[in-house]
Amino acid sequence: MRLPSRGPRTLKKPQIPSRVALLDALGRKEVSRVHAVREILHLLYTMADAITTRADDYSQWYIDIVRGAKLADYSPVRGCMIIRPNGYALWENMKAALDGMFKETGHENAYFPLFVPQSFLAREAEHVEGFAKECAVVTHSRLIDDGEGGLKPDPESEIGEPLVVRPTSETIIWNTYADWIQSWRDLPILINQWANVVRWEMRTRLFLRTMEFLWQEGHTAHATKQEAVEETLRMLDVYTTFAEDYMAMPVLRGVKTASERFPGAVDTYCIEALMQDGKALQAGTSHFLGQNFAKAFDCTFQNENNELEYVWATSWGVSTRLVGALIMTHSDDQGLVLPPRLAPTQVVIVPIHFNDEQRATVLEVARRIEQELADAGIRVELDASEAQRPGWKFNEYEVQGVPIRLAIGPRDVKNENVELARRDTREKEIVPQKGLTARITELLDRIQEGLYNRALQFRQERTTAVDSYDDFKAALDEPGGFVLAHWDGTAETEARIKEETKATIRCIPFTDQLRGLDEPGEDLLTGKPSEQRVVFARAY
RNA sequence: CGGGACGUAGCGCAGUCCGGUUAGCGCACCUGCUUUGGGAGCAGGAGGUCCCCGGUUCGAAUCCGGGCGUCCCGACCA
């Protein structure tokens, strides 16, 4: 049973069956029972107020979290979402951390156009094939009265060559790089852009799959293959560090198989995370593009030996999908759980008082603590609003995933204590005001580490190595998650396994992650030789 | 694209079968009082082109025709 949560929602909950449907199900003579059934359902739908549990319905739980924590709304545009301040603050914190790491590794930010001439997209054969089916295309520049009180594109205003709303920017960027690069002295070019992209998708899942999303895309140009490959792997390392140190989300690193590769890439590397429902989520990708785009856009340079060579390329990106990954890695049935390093608010203070006199003394202490924490660089918020009562606030901040909550009431003022509640374990304790800042600084670190360890343990419990197809199928259901198995390297086998089990090869992992399991073997299905195990999973 | 359901206040719904007071209920919202250590109580209040167009009728949320939109299942996609 799914129950609606508090507050306005545009989301349609499952609807109570109509009278007609119930009459069909129960029989035409059961009119009174039909009324009773609908009455009961109606009561259940309106009286209770909870986030759907993960065990009950995982995808509904996810939607309840996103909406309950006010991260995003559905929009009037099908397939698009509205990122609310809470969700955007998370993305901003991710951006800030990543942007710093990009700068540290020598990258600069720039901005390229939203619109890509249609002909650009057609230049690289695999690239077109990969993206052509999901492009939004602009063909007109003007609206006119349609004579029926509405508007329509002015047929007179049809623009010459249609413009594609960028699904990714390789083409327009390489068209530009071709102008910028003549000599080996112009290389490398290390550019990143923060942007939105549009991919015309059928299904929507907030943050995980929407038509428009926000991301960063790095595009680099190099003089040698080796340098480009090194860059590709360097950025994969940056993503790994970000995922593990900031998001507290362990990831597997590896390279994609040919069928999962980015259209136009020579090699696609990825980090893969495991969500709580046992499904894998690609959390970031880094592509070695070889000379494919350089050739498509005739981008050459003269090397030190006065020879003309094509430029070597990389591109790499992460998107607002990471917000979805964050949710599904840590959150519980009470709501969002955020790692302190990314939490927009790390500590919330809730004052409790029964009269004006108490209000004054409680707030005085609360403000002093707020100031001390802020001075220590902690993101702290004092909620002194009288619009809601303390109990309501407790719940609200729990749903929103604030890592630490402090409650201060008259009792605490008198005893020079505060009540400290941590979101990750839901433990509460009374602690002295003295030394509070140091305690909280240390606790935030411990929470960050604890979340990572919990997620890592979860992943380890759901990573299985198997050597037979029967075991493989069993492991996908129980315990689920990542299944390490041998594969003969052919697309045919990969496709057949996908067809039969819905599992795909998430990556061919770097072998340092396969401690003790890096022996060669034989393919599950065909028995043909395999150099190493690959990671299978059902995926988002 | 095929099959099914739905469209009434910000949200969730009742009322429609069988046409007839001023279209109701819960949540949310506004005002006041009492409250406040885990989603407060009471009282008062505001909020509606009943998806749109046309028809039948003395009278349409309700019946009829057409249109639009949304959701679910399948197909497709990842």
Q: What is the pLDDT of residues A449-465, one digit of tens each?
A: 999 999 999 999 999 99
Question: Does residue A25 reach within 7 angstroms of strand B, measured from its CB?
Answer: no
For domain A347-457, the CATH class is: alpha beta
Interatomic separation, CA of residue A25 and C1' of nucleotide B18, rounded (Å): 22
Question: Does residue A528 reach within 7 angstroms of strand B, measured from its CB?
Answer: no
Domains A85-330 and A347-457 share a fold: no
The residue ranges of DSSP E strands in A201-245, in sequence order, are: 212-222
Specify the DSSP class assigned to residue A245: I
Question: Does residue A396 reach within 7 angstroms of strand B, measured from its CB?
Answer: yes
Distance of CA A410 to CAs A56, A348, A373, A413, Å? 41, 18, 21, 5
| Token duo for residue A531 | 């150099």
Residue among A262, A266, A264, A284 at smallest CA distance from A215? A284
| SS3 state at A169 | coil
Q: Where are the domains of chain A?
A: 1-50, 85-330, 347-457, 462-537
- Identify whether A188 is preceded by a cis peptide bond (ω within 30 of 0): yes
Residue among A252, A239, A251, A245 at smallest CA distance from A314? A239
> CB of A236 within 8 A of CB of A316?
yes
In this predicted structure, what is the pLDDT of residue A318?
A: 97
Q: Could you give the ipTM of this predicted complex?
A: 0.81
First to last CA, chain A: 24
Which chain A residues 320-379 have CB under 7 A to strand B? 334, 352-355
Which chain A residues 456-515 have CB under 7 A to strand B? 502
In this predicted structure, what is the pLDDT of residue A40?
A: 45
> CB of A204 within 8 A of CB of A120?
no
What average pLDDT is seen over chain A?
Answer: 89
Q: Which CATH architecture has domain A85-330?
A: 2-Layer Sandwich (3.30)
Report how far residue A358's alpha carbon sits from residue A187's, in angstroms, rounded to the nearest whole number: 67
Report how far residue A110's alpha carbon sits from residue A103's, in angstroms, rounded to the nearest whole number: 12
| Token duo for residue A400 | 């929103």
Instruction: Kindly report the CATH number that applies to the domain delimited by A462-537.
Output: 3.30.110.30
Interatomic separation, CA of residue A18 and C1' of nucleotide B56, rounded (Å): 27
| Token duo for residue A158 | 């049809």
The residues, any chain, with a CB within 8 Å of residue A212's CB and separated by 6 or more, are A79, A80, A196, A197, A198
Question: Does residue A118 reach within 7 angstroms of strand B, measured from its CB?
Answer: no
| Token duo for residue A98 | 């990543």
Report how far residue A344's alpha carbon sits from residue A397's, in angstroms, rounded to the nearest whole number: 12
**Tens digit of pLDDT per residue, chain A (540 long)?**
222 233 222 222 333 444 444 544 554 444 444 444 444 444 444 333 568 888 877 888 888 888 889 998 877 677 788 899 999 999 999 999 999 999 999 999 999 999 999 999 999 999 998 898 888 888 889 888 776 666 778 888 999 999 999 999 999 999 999 999 999 999 999 999 999 999 887 677 889 888 889 999 999 999 999 999 999 999 999 999 999 999 999 999 999 999 999 999 999 999 999 999 999 999 999 999 999 999 999 999 999 999 999 999 999 999 999 999 999 999 999 999 999 999 999 999 999 999 989 999 999 999 999 999 999 999 999 999 998 999 999 999 999 999 999 999 999 999 999 999 999 999 999 999 999 999 999 999 999 999 999 999 999 999 999 999 999 999 999 899 999 999 999 999 999 999 889 899 999 999 999 988 989 999 999 999 999 999 999 998
